[in-house]
Structure 1
Amino acid sequence: MDATTQSPHIADVLVIGAGPSGGMVSHVLSQGGLDVVCLEQGDWVTSSDFPTNRPEWELLVQKRWAHHPNERDVAADYPTEVSESDLSPVMYNAVGGSSLFFGAQWPRLLPSDLKVRSVDGVAADWPLSYDELTRHYDAADQLVGVAGLGGNPAYPDGLDYPLPPHPLGPLGLTAAAGLNRLGWHWWPGTVAIPTARFRELAQCERWGTCEWGCPRGSKASADVAFWVHNLRSGARLVTGARVREILVDSAGRARGAAWVDRDGVEHEQAARAVVVCCNGIGTARLLLNSTSALFPDGLANSSGLVGKNLMLHPCAAVLGVYDEEMKSHRGPLGEAVVSLEFYETRPEHDFVRGIKFSAHPIPGVLSQLEFHRNGPFEQLWGPAIHDVVAGHSRSFCFSGQIDDLPEETNTVTLDPELVDSDGIPAPRIRYRMSDNSRKQLAFLVDRMDEAHRAAGAVRTVRLPLATDQPGHLLGTARMGADPASSVVNPDGRAHDVPNLYIADGSVFVTGGAVNPTATIVALAHRVAQHLLTTARDQEAVA
């Protein structure tokens, strides 16, 4: 190894990862006057860089902008070994992280999600109550500029949003009518995309390409929602900085991180406290790579649970084709309406926990063709495929996900052979869906198909499992009160390392069936507020 460049600067807090959780942590701490340094292995991506600015965008997203890092193979990415995984985890390394790729759906967990053990006798309860999280959800919504309609009967009273919801449009109205005929719950979608200009975010122009980058800067990805403000508050962001390991002193306290730049030069950044925000795969990888005489099995891993209980939220979808115009090219993509009708466990079901599904547009013709990929050959060329293309504007999609319960056999470990471009061991993902998950998925697909039929669809096409969706990487450093059965405490502080915190989806105890970003950011707000009162009291780094 070449000589290491050591920064003489000791930060109050070192944040690793500039995605939604790292953005929120840095925002709260820099606004509070702390000296914050954030290391991000990716780069800035501007709205003009996104493929969605170009007519051929659906071709570009097959490679350079693909969801899976093994397909992109760009400098900021690290490879993943997924031969033993039923799903290919979605990740993107950049300022803003994978929020550059998210559809901006912004639902909160439901109260039962935090007490699954008490309610259904499975998994484990969170060490937090819904009431404890509420003010952090509210604070996050106000910072991000969430658009939604208050009063959803699925949630406790008092939930509202800073901006009004997006118009339902033809597809939303059609989906709602079908759900009404079935007598099922539905509500206008909640998204982190403003219906009016909000701080640095432009008003949504309804391009519909949210999952591949908003070309007008309307989506609240963390680069726009947080980082432009964090820099003004004095936070220092270092891009192209791949963290090799978290360093500890002789007392077992975190003293900073070793990182390597794009030229292969090794650096060290010292700090009084370290917050890891690298997602449910990257965080486990970093902790397992941070070995020492004091922590031979990886940092903060006395429980043996770092990298275990990986949850990936298996997703399915059903395309519906209608006689009427649906304007399926109009956004936002996230969700026009959402149904939580089957969210909770029911005695008549042969599985525990439930599902969430929503109606949304299909922004491009090639995206629609993906539903037909596994069809008979005669339906994939000639007049048949032309008929499919012609039906694009008369189509929309119901997609949904399940409450993916944690299992210790679903893991992130270090691959013995695969490494990234800097020689750092890459993560090996082992993820197999349980029998309970497969039953949930089958039920989900049947209900989405039924909803389309009730709404008047003349034809449906099922996608029983979307193997490249979604990017919900949860559970590999779970929180809890007992150090023997958890990695961090309810404040996100590692049981084994008193000045090390984790503030991303790794700390989830269970995943719920809703999209997790709102909860990830709320938890990050909670961790940051705790740190704000304690960081300057951390012992100086030797």
Structure 2
Amino acid sequence: MSTDQADVVIVGAGLAGGITAATLTAAGLHVVCLEQGGWPDYDKARADFPDYEVTADRYWARDPNTRRAEADYPVDDTDSDISALMWNGVGGGTVLYSAKWHRMTPGDFRVRSHDGVADDWPLSYEDLEPYYVEAERQLGVSGLAGNPAYPAGEGPPNPPVPIRAAGRRMAKALNELGWHWWPGGNAISTRDYRMLSPCRQHGTCMSGCPEGAKASTDLTHWPAAIDRGADLRTGARVTRVLVRGDRATGVEYVDREGRLHKVEARAVIMCANGIGTPRILLLSATSEHPDGLANSSGLLGKRLMMHPFGAVAGIFDEDLATHSGSWGQQIQTMHFYESDPARGFVRGAKWGLQPTGGPLGLTRSYPWGQSPEPMWFENFHDTLASRLGHAPMWSLIAEDLPHEHNTVTLSSDLADSDGLPGARLAYTVDENSKRLMDFHVARAVESFEVAGARETIVGPHVRASGWHLMGTAVMGDDPARSVTDRFGRAHDIPNLFIFDSSTWVTSGGVNPAATQAALALWSSDAFLRQGQLSRRDLRTGAAA
């Protein structure tokens, strides 16, 4: 076994890992990052070619059980209402995300105080606000400041994506209903900005951005981190975090040739997502930590949240060019975001208006594949032609409350290509989320009817929608009721950190990338400010 040394070893090169590596290398730390996948190959981004829809899933499939790349590990979702989606490679989920960008609201951090459910976060919107601003600057976010759903403050650095014909139609309908809307926020650049190019409105954000307009950390953070000395090792599957007593001593990993390696480090930072992080910490169990690392609370792998997702499309007589456009969102509404006791449920959802793609997308994507109506309908070609370009869609992100019976554990049946156990999910959408979704679907249908749609297609509960993996190593002030503190430091092992969405207390009802990026900056900044690895300690070899 070869052995290397570093100040910090990071596990995972996605959103949290890229931001953390860039921040710590800028401070002069020697960082090694281990990523089980490789770099995305944008030569396989076929948006400019007529075979785009036919070939997209050969490389850009979102479900690791479908993709089955060497870097993937199997996820047993037999007992889960939602299938987990992820990209195992440099850039992580940002390679495939739609790039919708929303901060959580102040109330999202105070769910227990406001609604008597779940828990309050040990930090506030005000704590994160400067980190939201910095994350938006680093990722070239586009949008418009002044949304009254949020406190006043600085907005994104780039103007919003164009509001096209469908967006204008639906904005007018919301005005008629008296419902609030706002130009969409997206991690998609609308002009030349640092390393990003302006979006050309392909509508292929989730299957390879061909011009580099979408902010993924393989573009926005890793090049600079590597220039500063970060050692990013791809094809490096972590087998366990090494510990001695209550201290992490490093990480063991296996390369693509099956050789075993060890990286000794003064701190280990987990950034492997809400399934990958608990999986590795459970794999790292020892006689001193028989239930997995950092698990004295018993909460490691519990409280999984995945954001129940619904989709409603309206079909119009007019051609609204919905085969293209930013796949993020042209406009958004949070009109029904806050709790209203009269509705029979707590919390809410965010809507984002987006295109519906080409002819294949209209047969196999949401909401079409989830609609109770038969997909292979009578007069198929005529019906398909009447929908192509005529069908904008509201995507509905519903708040997901944490429950300890929603879990990530190790699979006893499935293993990855190196023989390590895969992950097993047990997850049920609760009654609150079901009622919440039913309400929002009905309102979305109403908005299309007011806008003049001749038909609506509803996918009320989309199974293949688990992009957002949160809550499985919850943060908190009480070690008996949480895995890490408010900065992501494990209560049980003081030099083990978790900077990814595993630490989330509640999920909010918005896409999580903005808050996860802000949290990675918040945690990295605290890591440096609190002297977890001071330069003096590094020079003298003293313990961190």
Q: Which residue is 2:507 aligned to?
A: 511
Partner of residue 256 from structure 1, selected from 242, 250, 264: 250
Q: Contact between 1:379 and 1:385, CA under 8 Å: does it hold in 2?
A: no
Q: Please, which runs of 5 or more residues in structure 2 have no aligned partner?
A: none
Deviation, 1:376, is 7.9
In the alignment, the residues of structure 2 paired with residue 377 and residue 300 of structure 1 have an alpha-carbon distance, to the nearest angstrom, of 48
Partner of residue 216 from structure 2, selected from 211, 216, 221: 221
Partner of residue 438 from structure 2, selected from 431, 439, 442: 442
1:486 and 2:453 correspond: no
Shift of the 455–483 alpha-carbon distance from structure 1 to 2, 3 Å rule, reads same
In the alignment, the residues of structure 2 paired with residue 377 and residue 166 of structure 1 have an alpha-carbon distance, to the nearest angstrom, of 33
In the alignment, the residues of structure 2 paired with residue 57 and residue 85 of structure 1 have an alpha-carbon distance, to the nearest angstrom, of 31
Q: Contact between 1:255 and 1:541, CA under 8 Å: does it hold in 2?
A: no
Amino acid paired to 1:405: L
In the alignment, the residues of structure 1 paired with residue 117 and residue 205 of structure 2 have an alpha-carbon distance, to the nearest angstrom, of 35
Q: Please, which runs of 5 or more residues in structure 1 have no aligned partner?
A: none
Report the TM-score when normalising by structure 1: 0.96
Deviation, 1:381, is 5.0
Partner of residue 523 from structure 1, selected from 519, 522, 530: 519
Deviation, 1:378, is 7.2
Q: Contact between 2:371 and 2:459, CA under 8 Å: does it hold in 1?
A: no
Amino acid paired to 2:260: E
Amino acid paired to 2:505: V
Query: How many residues in Structure 1 have an aligned counterpart in Structure 2?
Result: 536
In the alignment, the residues of structure 1 paired with residue 252 and residue 427 of structure 2 have an alpha-carbon distance, to the nearest angstrom, of 30
- Matched residue of 1:223: which SS? helix
Q: Which residue is 1:279 aligned to?
A: 273
Amino acid paired to 1:437: S
Q: Which residue is 2:379 aligned to?
A: 383
In the alignment, the residues of structure 1 paired with residue 372 and residue 23 of structure 2 have an alpha-carbon distance, to the nearest angstrom, of 54
Q: Which residue is 2:284 aligned to?
A: 290
- Matched residue of 1:61: which SS? helix
Most deviating of 218-227 and 360-369 = 360-369
Q: Which residue is 1:172 aligned to?
A: 167
1:330 and 2:324 correspond: yes
Shift of the 377–210 alpha-carbon distance from structure 1 to 2, 3 Å rule, reads closer
In the alignment, the residues of structure 1 paired with residue 278 and residue 460 of structure 2 have an alpha-carbon distance, to the nearest angstrom, of 29
In the alignment, the residues of structure 1 paired with residue 71 and residue 80 of structure 2 have an alpha-carbon distance, to the nearest angstrom, of 23
Q: Contact between 1:186 and 1:339, CA under 8 Å: does it hold in 2?
A: yes
1:310 and 2:308 correspond: no
Amino acid paired to 2:376: L
Give the 5 Å matches for 1:17-36.
17-36=12-31
- Matched residue of 1:528: which SS? helix
Partner of residue 447 from structure 2, selected from 431, 447, 451: 451
In the alignment, the residues of structure 1 paired with residue 334 and residue 405 of structure 2 have an alpha-carbon distance, to the nearest angstrom, of 29
Partner of residue 94 from structure 2, selected from 99, 102, 111: 99
Please report the RMSD computed on the Cα atoms of aligned residues, expressed in angstroms: 1.6
Q: Contact between 1:63 and 1:71, CA under 8 Å: does it hold in 2?
A: no
Shift of the 442–499 alpha-carbon distance from structure 1 to 2, 3 Å rule, reads same
Q: Which residue is 2:315 aligned to?
A: 321
Deviation, 1:382, is 5.7
Q: Contact between 1:272 and 1:535, CA under 8 Å: does it hold in 2?
A: no
- Matched residue of 1:527: which SS? helix
Shift of the 453–252 alpha-carbon distance from structure 1 to 2, 3 Å rule, reads same
Q: Contact between 1:337 and 1:359, CA under 8 Å: does it hold in 2?
A: yes
Most deviating of 373-382 and 310-319 = 373-382
Deviation, 1:225, is 1.2
Q: Contact between 2:327 and 2:354, CA under 8 Å: does it hold in 1?
A: yes
Q: Contact between 1:13 and 1:535, CA under 8 Å: does it hold in 2?
A: no
Q: Which residue is 2:61 aligned to?
A: 66
1:113 and 2:111 correspond: no
Shift of the 23–378 alpha-carbon distance from structure 1 to 2, 3 Å rule, reads closer
Deviation, 1:258, is 0.4
Amino acid paired to 1:256: G
- Matched residue of 2:394: which SS? strand
Deviation, 1:375, is 6.2
Q: Contact between 2:369 and 2:375, CA under 8 Å: does it hold in 1?
A: no
In the alignment, the residues of structure 1 paired with residue 336 and residue 137 of structure 2 have an alpha-carbon distance, to the nearest angstrom, of 29
Q: Contact between 2:407 and 2:472, CA under 8 Å: does it hold in 1?
A: yes
Q: Which residue is 1:203 aligned to?
A: 198
Deviation, 1:72, is 0.7
List per-residue Cα deviations over 1:494-514 (Å, max 9, x = no partner): 000111110111110000000
Shift of the 447–228 alpha-carbon distance from structure 1 to 2, 3 Å rule, reads same
- Matched residue of 1:394: which SS? coil
Deviation, 1:408, is 0.3
Shift of the 458–382 alpha-carbon distance from structure 1 to 2, 3 Å rule, reads closer
Shift of the 245–374 alpha-carbon distance from structure 1 to 2, 3 Å rule, reads closer
Partner of residue 3 from structure 2, selected from 6, 13, 31: 6
